[in-house]
Structure formats: structure tokens, C-alpha cells
Amino acid sequence: MAQKLIDLADVVRSKNAGPFELTIDIIFDNLEDYNLVKEKAVITREKIADLYQVPLADVKDVIYFEPARAIKVTLKRPIPAGSPGERDVYGAQQHAPLLDLEL
């Protein structure tokens, strides 16, 4: 059975990063799991664009930060926070597509 990101990551969360961006944090309990995900290149701009069905240009950054055993992803919001039609002003529900991501 394939491992899923959620089985390795201690934290997978999303949050508001201003009116025009969202940030996703993936934090690992140990360096081994962090390195496994990093070495397999599981989280890339291309993979995020595909998962979220957005243009590659809307995936601003994917940053691997070893001292925190974390990956930070920054995405352009499809609709600015608080605008009509925007359903998650805090950005707290946007991490869901990553939960079933297989390694």
C-alpha cells in the first residue's frame, strides 16, 4: 500500500496570507520523513498546480525549510479574501487536496 503525505506529516494546514494569497504548511515530526518527501520531490509547483487545478503561475513558492522540517507553499487566491463568492476568508480549509497525496 502506498504511503500518503498525511501519514508522514505531523501538521498539514492552510491559512490566510493576506487578501491575495494562501499559505500551506506541511510540518514533519522527524527529519527522516521530511527528507523522504523532499527526496521523492512529492511537493513541487507543478504537483500543487495539478492538485489545485490552477495555472502554474498561481503557485508562487514551494519552500523546503530543513531547520523546521517543514515545507511552505504559497498560492494565489482564486478570489481575494472577503470578496463576493469567496468562501474561506481565513484560508483554513484549503489544505484538503494534500491529505490524500501519495508518495
pTM (2 d.p.): 0.92
Alpha helix stretches (DSSP H) within 9-53:
31-39, 45-52
- E-only strand ranges, the chain: 9-16, 21-28, 59-65, 70-76
Nearest to 28 by CA among 82, 2, 64: 64
pLDDT at 1 over 80: no
Taking the domains of the chain in order of start, what are their residue ranges?
5-99
* DSSP conformation class of 79: S
What does the pLDDT average to over 32-55? 96
What does the pLDDT average to over 84-91? 90
Domain 5-99 in CATH 3.30.420 = no
Q: What is the mean pLDDT of the chain?
A: 94
Task: Dump pLDDT digits (tens) for 19-41.
Answer: 999 999 999 999 999 999 999 99
Query: Which pLDDT value is given to residue 45?
Result: 97
Query: Which pLDDT value is given to residue 68?
Result: 97
